[in-house]
Structure 1
């Protein structure tokens, strides 16, 4: 018979999944930490967990943030969630890029447990002397422990312990000394913890600003500076040199990224004509997404746009204006792309021997061959990696990836992981309007941001549900870029809502998400769709478009000044550039959405801690005037203190007005005048 274990060495908790204080459902954690959650330098990360224990002792919880070198960078006291849920949440803020991690600690709050029990029992005249003696012992011990690291708190604890033990005083005075606001403040600074239990540490990938913040503007270089011959009607294409003249206006509107559709040679075989017609005339330029011709493939530039030198000059001109250039990465080919001849195994061959063209029923793309990643994954992957590396060498640090959901997820995990290991500042945007599971997988695979369902969320109820989802439920793996339109997407809301609809959607996108974007022509209220579709008529994908932005603005028929104001507000208010800090508020009107964004900006050596809070009240009905009452959640605003009449000062950032607001406030918003209030709380 084997010898019995020495009972002095026996710990029944070894190897168990629960610690002394159970901690479950830690977030943001992706598949038990198999993938890192996403963060941005200086952006708040909302950490939550379920923390509980047996009995009635009061608990506390702390979120811990660990720097890439493993050192503890921050610990943030968590606050309880809904009563009875055992949920706790807090905020940590990584300071720079890298592979960070976080954990949650749960612990018995010795002071809160004693204070609660003491007040209940002493008020009931039960165990009075015992409770006072326990408080004296607890705070006396705390005074000794805090002396080295928190001397001010130690002084408070020592004085309170002395008073608690002074039998010459009456009971109420002794209890008051141990529970007054000075002691409670000291305990916040130096919590009295027991049975501290820590969860596992989970990964947090912190990336640069452009991965999760920015305003994007899309335009076609071939249209910028394009001219039409007045007699023949034939076009001369714009190029990188003429397109660079548009950059100062884009920068002046406050955009951070200028996104270019594919700039490569365009196929001739099956080229599409105007409005996606099947027959193209000899002068029709074709769709830039039908990549490749005798002039080259994904590594080449369309001859009409210029040379590599011209492209480099365009990138430099953008950079000089603090604009980054995002390039379209469309992994597909025109029938006359060099790959179609050299590597037919990279495509899908049908039973009749032809290569299958792309389809997205009811849409058909006869001018595009999709790639097949299963026939020769190594060969195709190596070539695409070469292409991406090449454009990175040419100065591109942002790629907008076309239809990534039509390629295997493993491929993106490999490609993005390889590129980011070499060049961590490269950002990939997923142009994926598809099933939720696939969009979530693309985020896990490495895409820094993605197009989103925002485009089709129009009513108050739809927007509330979606804003909660992206700011809380999916924020760990999905950064939404709220594009208001694209060459392919002109929603019915914009088709029939008039200029008010364009203004409302810009407000919603720019104020609710740290990432937003618009396609050229939005500022001109372009709203006519091709019959039976959601696309613009005379779509720029298939033809040149001549716009006179300056004339429209001079005539007061441009949204450009308002877009400039929105981007100016964004740059002035850090709260608008975080994703996870959004709170909804109540409105009595079914078409008026109310939300706030709140951020605490940490103190520096020269600037004290400050709070930045924006409240947005927006009428989402573009056809009417709405009025009603806003009922604010004051806790979400973290007001330091209200005036004696219960109000605080807000500055209206659209009109420049200043008002006194409180918990309940009347509003009246005319969609045809100013459909929204954007309010900054004056601290």
Structure 2
């Protein structure tokens, strides 16, 4: 046996899944000659329960076998593949061919009868099985039996089923034990929403200055976020902000009194990473905010940015944690040509043990306040070994901890962070916009790296306003949200997306008047009342995700075809045996990824991937509009970007 999955390249790290995820267990297995084999995977749950799952051949010509299992217990699972000579399958295949051809019929009947006698002798085989096998063996030995009758026994599905459940095994080959880490569902499934608490409830005083929003005023926004169906609220850093080199509006170096600065310039006279900004309130206020979020069905995710403003207590207490230049100054953070004069990056080569202890202390502190989800800023600029250690240490103490890697970097370090333990990863999704780009990208996420990398498809961030959104108008916003929400079980939206905020600062990929450097004033309710909000569309998407378990899976995405270069087609299917609802669930997404046109084309579906025989018709309901159509393998579609650019179709019935 070779090439087992789930696995991680290199073998150092163990693969991962989340509770309820349909995980493909796949292996290459073969033997010499023409005799048939069987393959199974033996699983041991964290609590010690053992289960056996039969694999089926993929019939791809490469001797690959696979089955889907949805583990429902959190923890480390063990598994191993086993292959064996399948005596019944070998006889069944040979007897079917030979008896039908009138070759060695008597010999094949006797071989089958002897096989059935052996099976009846097994102590653990049920009595009903033995009765069926006794009658079949007697019929096969009847000298007057006709070949047609013998063939009915050879092809009897009831006999095949009992041997499938309890195969006659010889020459058993056992693979090595392997491990699968199964984490809580939120590690792989969730709709994220990001807002700046200082903007929620901010108001202008009579003198024109701005009074910051607080955790108490931000809590008033929680029902609105929950009402759109989001279940994770991500907060940028909530700590004191430095005064030295504080950035002004639009990332300028000139500030005016009252400019709040960037939350990522962490640390000041009021404290550092274990402190809340006095403008936001107290630690008690933050705990109350977390509790209010929980009451609304929302978990709070906190930013973990391992960097410091020049005013951070670390700078005075631990100058060795930073890089000192030849002129005696401390190096600022840079991402050429960008320069962050308000931030010092931590140098992990200096006093690594001290830095480890401090970061672990900070993480434990916030876990004690009720936070178990952390969005990590720029983890690819820190040592991989550090993250491997930190996540393993924290997870051992708090198995529900989730770390999201904000690593817009090259594939190797991005994937390395995921292998090292990050439960979720930002990806290149925002820059994959054409049909061809999305087919390759989404297919890779679902099938190439899913054993260790879980994507979080954020549609925008405070730093990322792509040209697609700048110039795609409202259709562009709908298209990107629909694809993100249906292609992956975890996706995210930064506040303002629902208001179509699409004006960029000249020469950049950021919103003008960026919220990183100033307060934002938004009237969510007025925009929705006026029909100027995407909130109802986001609400629909999140409702679909909750109603359809196929959308809460990653590995079940299959790309289909269309005759138009701008019409993207994919499906997501979940069998009833793996579904929490006990019902088969199939979703077909057809998206016009050109936000500037109406497109007409024919969509071509491989219906076998969702269990429908080619040529069979079936009804589909569009979850966007409620319309119902009868579809088959080839279907005409018209998608007007200025009306509804995306079909999200639920397969209703197989006619």
TM over 0.5: yes
1:172 is matched with which residue?
A: 148
- In the TM superposition, what are the counterparts of 1:184-203 in structure 2 within 5 Å? 184-203=160-179
Written as runs of structure 1 = structure 2, the 5 A alignment for 1:487-498 is 487-498=462-473
Contact 1:401–1:429 under 8 Å retained in 2 = yes
The secondary structure found in structure 2 opposite 1:595 is: strand
Partner of 1:6: none
Structure 2 partner of 1:532: 507
Displacement of 1:181 in angstroms is: 3.1
TM-aligned CA distance change 1:63 to 1:620, over 3 Å: farther
Residues 140 and 682 (structure 1), Cα distance of their counterparts in 2 relative to 1, 3 Å cut: farther
User: Which of the residues 391, 394, 402 maps onto 1:419?
Assistant: 394
Determine whether 1:86 maps to 2:63: yes
The superposition leaves residues 135-158 of structure 1 with CA deviations (integer Å, 9 ceiling, x where unpaired) of: 22123322443x744444444333
Q: What does 1:655-670 align with in structure 2 at a 5 Å threshold?
A: 655-670=625-640
* Alignment match, 2:41: 63
Cα pair 2:69 2:578 within 8 Å, conserved:
no
Determine whether 1:24 maps to 2:8. Answer: no
Tell me if 1:459 matches 2:434. yes
CA distance in 1, matches of 2:127, 2:418: 47
- 1:198-597 paired onto structure 2 within 5 Å: 198-229=174-205, 232-597=207-572
Which residue does the alignment assign to 1:37?
15
Q: Distance in 2 between matches of 1:583 and 1:389?
A: 41
1:131 paired with 2:108, answer yes
Q: Which moved more, 1:257-266 or 1:79-88?
A: 79-88
Higher mean C-alpha deviation, range 666-675 or range 593-602: 593-602
Q: Deviations over 1:621-667 (max 9, x none)?
A: 1111122222222221124x79xx82122222111122222222221
What is aligned with 1:626? 599
- The 1:611–1:534 alpha-carbon spacing in structure 2 relative to 1, beyond 3 Å, is same
Cα drift, residue 608 of structure 1: 8.6
Task: Measure the CA separation in 2 of the matches of 1:123 and 1:210.
Answer: 55
Unaligned runs of 5+ in 1: 1-22
SS class of match (2:33): coil
Count of residues in Structure 1 that have an aligned counterpart in Structure 2: 653
CA distance in 2, matches of 1:104, 1:263: 48
2:85 corresponds to which residue?
108
Q: What is aligned with 1:20?
A: none
Aligned partners of 2:96 and 2:154 also within 8 Å: no
Q: Which moved more, 1:335-344 or 1:593-602?
A: 593-602
Show CA shifts across 1:342-380 (max 9, x none).
111000001111000001112111110000111101111
Q: By how many angstroms is 1:269 displaced?
A: 0.5
Structure 2: gaps of 5 or more residues: none
- 2:139 matched to 1:163? yes
Counterpart contact for 1:161–1:178, Cα < 8 Å: no
Q: Deviations over 1:519-557 (max 9, x none)?
A: 000001111111111111110001111111111111111
- Retained in 2: the 8 A contact 1:65–1:92? no
Does the aligned pair in 1 maintain the 2:95–2:154 contact within 8 Å? no
CA distance in 1, matches of 2:522, 2:541: 23
- CA 1:157–1:632 in structure 2 vs 1: closer, same or farther (change >3 Å)? farther
CA shift digits 1:377-434 (9 cap, x unpaired): 1111111111111111111111111001100011111111111111111111111111
Deviation of 1:31 (Å): 4.8
Secondary structure of 2:575's partner? Answer: strand
323-332 or 96-105, which deviates more: 96-105
In 2 relative to 1, CA 367–463 (structure 1 residues): closer, same or farther, beyond 3 Å?
A: same
